[in-house]
A and B are shown apart, each in its own frame.
Chain A
Amino acid sequence: MKPKSLAELAEGVAGARAPFALQGAGSKRGLGRPVVAELLDLSAFNAVIAYEPEELILECGAAARLKDVQGLLNKQGQMLAFEPPDFSALFSSKHAGTLGGALMCNLAGPRRLKAGAARDHVLGATGVNGTGEIIKAGARVVKNVTGYDVPRLLAGSHGTLMALTSVIFKVMPRPETENTLLVPCGNEASAVALMAKALGSSCEVSAAAYVPGQGVALRLEGIDVSVAYRRAKLATLLEAESQVLEAKASASLWQAVRDVTALPCQPSDCIWRISVAPQHAPQVIAALRQQFAFTFIIDWGGGLIWLAHNENQDHAAAIRAAASPGHATLFRASEATRATAQVFQPLPPALAALTQRVKQAFDQKGQFNPGRMYPEL
């Protein structure tokens, strides 16, 4: 089904006898458990509905391409502050995907530390629930507590709650410039300690990552005079040799971290996305190093580990044991692996049951992306 209007989508879903696999641009089909169902192609919902730079508001079709949206914002000196990654290299897809897709996967780039993820910037969403009802949540204002926060609930729901047709996001001014301090560092323990020191200072570090072989990267953004001032202050604070990357080099380093192209791996490798308390990261790496061979990079000051290992191995249990009480997602793997593996973090029974009830509140018949996140969801 490829609806052209909200009404057509609602009618199609209401009258459907079998479930759908939802798709915006199809850029992240490789993420999540495979869904065997009729394609619900939402790509027609790709128009920019309203962009009001002085109100910091962007409303557009859920399938509006990220590249188009970013181009539009760029012209006005604005951006999506959550820095949505472009996973086209990771998933061998043709493009970076859509804004609705970024919300559904709750994407976030290196600025997660300071600015949050897609969930922190979404203000509204319109679409159809599993029974074909048209649901409108949120509004074109940046501050709103009227009723439950449905737009944020949709973040990270991977198309299992609603078929989205439009979204409203808060946009922010783009920093005038950026610099990165690159500090040589030989191991993850000292890297995370260094990042904590930088992030605990008033230098307003907007991104902090450790790329083995390169060292610790600390990004400063803002107006020229401020970046220069903080760069000097941070260098003094860290008491370590460092190299300065000016705007262009800085941007390309962070793009590689954001899009995970900085992670050395084979195209067939399994890739894990591990979310932990920042100080926990070195222990996770150390524990896993004793068990199998892998490559990794660390972002979010330690809070995010990207880990790659050989495709013919199953290390899920070891990774999840090491990451607890954080969690791990098998972000990339072959379709066969994803069909049988626990791709998303298994939930404790009470939370799993609650999650199931929330799913049913939107999609009682299980029409949308059945099994995408969990076999029973």
Chain B
Amino acid sequence: MLVMPASDRQVLARRAEIAGALRQLVAPSHVIDSPVALKPYESDGLTAYKQVPMLVVLPQTVAEVSAILAYAHAEGIKVVPRGAGTSLSGGALPLEDGILLGMAKFNRILETDFENRCCVVQPGVTNLAITKAVETRGFYYAPDPSSQIACTIGGNVAENSGGVHCLKYGLTTNNILGLEMVLITGEVIRLGGKHMDSEAYDLLALMTGSEGLLGVITEVTVRIIPKPETARALLIGFPSSTAAGQCVADIISQGIIPGGMEMMDKPAIHAAEAFVKVGYPLEAEALLIVELDGPQAEVDQLIARVEKIARANHAQSLRISNTEAERLAFWAGRKAAFPAVGRISPDYMCMDGTIPRKKLPEVLEGMAALSRKHRLGVANVFHAGDGNLHPLILFDANTEGELQRAEEFGADILRLCVKVGGVLTGEHGVGVEKRDLMGEMFSETDLGQQLRIKCAFDTQNLLNPGKVFPVLHRCAEMGKMIVHGGNLAHPDLPRF
């Protein structure tokens, strides 16, 4: 079971007083303390974990964020920042004795600057809203996490979100130019801007993917780029994942970087086809969607090259989109893979490891063995270009013991990813979900170094504690720490 930092009884006892103090800092109606109104905030996209926060506060200005954080800092109260709450790793899971800082009211696009090819936006603006704001002039914001209609840019920065196009267009970290953030002390810091290089240390890079542990983002400057002239896709069925994997390797070896390259295994193909009925090849062991984007002349030629590579790798079936409707149909099944799996199983758990691509057959084989060991099914979707694997573990939470078995299965899959040279998370973040597995990937010294970075920003460990790191000593005490597989060396010591 998940162990969160012990609640501070003294803070909990002061709940009414703290709510009163916050109402001095923001409009009184922007502080939520009634149990009914707090309930919707009890979890994020990782619904297996729930905790009603002590209080929710919804600031509207940078000055308010600064005042709230300075107050929390002075009073020693924990703060959990939250965007749209779509995290799949529990990054915004509240704390019983913590203030949940909701950034939803920061929902304005401040500036669209086509000449400098950037947008200045508040953190609560959704990912898709940025593209919507600039597409009339032929621009878009490239990173496109699957939750883009709901997830916010502030959350994207905190998690360094990816999407299906990141092999060619990069992650969030490659697509932002500037940030304004507030430290737990209330200090407001600006990093970067519309210019391209950072002034000194690349704190912009450090903030990106820091999961709300280092600062609260209050403004983001993102790069926007011209939309490619056209895009076409291939839908290719293979007799084995090895053949599909070799096809991916050959495409890249021949110098082609597709806009998107997605793989699905047989269970995922079947679930998706049953749901959206777009003609996925049911006999295939592995399905590859390869999308080429760019100028028409280039796309047409690359489509032909990819077709040749696929046939050389024993493709069983191959379709090429000739219209936009066809291209979207190829994607429909992949984009509906999660809900499709949701239809064939009462519950599923989505994992997120990255592996060196060539290890795919080995990992899929290992996963099949783990599936037998844990007696649970698994369907796989895979960002094939960048090695980011999303196994979907099928289980029924109403069956005694299945949730626990699913969690153990998931942990085993991630251990397997690390063992073959991969990592625990490619795009969903560590959050609370993979926190206790950090010791599998990092040595004590590596974790100690990361914790000292945390201390440089937040010496009292008040900002989003309990996330990312298995255990956190007081910054002043930080020397060696013992972490292995989440087993704490001294479980009786206070943790916070």
Contact = CB atoms under 8 A, between A and B. Distances in A.
Interface of A: 52-57, 77-78, 106, 108, 112-113, 116-117, 119-120, 129, 133-137, 139-150, 152-153, 155-157, 161, 172-174, 176, 196, 199-204, 222-223, 225-226, 228-230, 233, 275-280, 300, 303-304, 325-327, 344-345, 347-348, 350-351, 354-355, 357-362, 373-374
B485 interface: no
B421 interface: yes
A347 B199 contact: yes
Contacts of A53: 253
B202 A156 contact: yes
Given A202-B227, A279-B116, 7 more contacts: A52-B356, A120-B170, A146-B430, A156-B198, A173-B254, A326-B195, A357-B456
A32 B114 CA distance: 35
A345 B195 contact: no
A300 B116 CA distance: 11
A279 B387 contact: no
A358 B203 contact: yes
B196 A135 contact: no
A137 B446 contact: yes
Contact of B445 (A134, A279, A373): A134
A153 B205 contact: yes
Contacts of B450: 147-148, 150
Contacts of B113: 279
9 contacts: A106-B197, A120-B170, A143-B166, A146-B438, A147-B430, A202-B229, A226-B295, A277-B116, A358-B203
Nearest to B159: A145
Among A117, A147, A275, max chain B CB count under 10 A is at A147
A149 B209 contact: yes
Among B117, B383, B386, B424, max chain A CB count under 10 A is at B117
B202 A155 contact: yes
Given A229-B298, A278-B115, A145 B253 contact: no
A187 B356 CA distance: 49
Given A326-B195, A355-B201, A362 B452 contact: yes
Given A54-B249, A277-B194, A229 B297 contact: yes
Contacts of B468: 147
B259 interface: no
A156 B200 contact: yes
B422 A139 contact: yes
B301 A225 contact: yes
Contact of A135 (B427, B445, B456): B445
B426 interface: yes
Contacts of B160: 145, 149
B465 to A, nearest CB: 15
A359 B452 CA distance: 10
Nearest to A193: B115
A153 B355 CA distance: 23
Interface in B439-488: 441-443, 445-450, 452-453, 455-457, 468
Given A152-B202, A176-B255, A361 B426 contact: no
A172 B386 CA distance: 12
B21 interface: no
A226 B301 contact: yes
A143 B426 contact: yes
B189 interface: yes
B170 A141 contact: no
B126 interface: no
Among A52, A113, A152, max chain B CB count under 10 A is at A152
Nearest to B187: A350
A276 B121 CA distance: 19
Nearest to B434: A146
A219 to B, nearest CB: 15
A54 B358 contact: yes
Contacts of B387: 55, 141-143
Interface of B: 113-118, 137-139, 159-160, 162, 166-167, 170-171, 173-174, 183, 187-191, 193-203, 205-206, 208-210, 226-229, 249-250, 252-257, 294-298, 301-302, 354-358, 383, 386-388, 421-430, 434, 438, 441-443, 445-450, 452-453, 455-457, 468
A348 B424 CA distance: 37
Given A147-B468, A229-B295, A358 B445 contact: no
Nearest to A113: B196
A358 B295 contact: no
B209 A225 contact: no
A145 B256 CA distance: 25
A303 B200 contact: no
Contacts of B196: 112-113, 117, 275, 300, 303-304
A153 B188 contact: no
A55 B206 contact: no
Contacts of B197: 106, 108, 117, 156, 275, 327
A134 B445 CA distance: 7
B255 A327 contact: no
B228 A202 contact: yes
B32 to A, nearest CB: 30
B252 A325 contact: no
A57 B443 CA distance: 23
A361 B356 contact: no
B421 A139 contact: yes
A42 B283 CA distance: 55
B357 A55 contact: yes
Contacts of A142: 167, 354, 386-387
A154 to B, nearest CB: 8
A56 B252 contact: yes
A143 B162 contact: yes
B173 A149 contact: yes
Contacts of B298: 222-223, 225-226, 229
Among B162, B228, B426, max chain A CB count under 10 A is at B426
B445 A141 contact: no
Given A229-B295, A357-B456, A141 B423 contact: yes
A119 B208 CA distance: 13
B202 A153 contact: yes
The 4 residue pairs across chains A and B that have the minimum distance between CB atoms: A226-B298, A152-B205, A173-B255, A277-B194
B356 A77 contact: no
Among A78, A133, A145, max chain B CB count under 10 A is at A145
Contacts of B388: 143
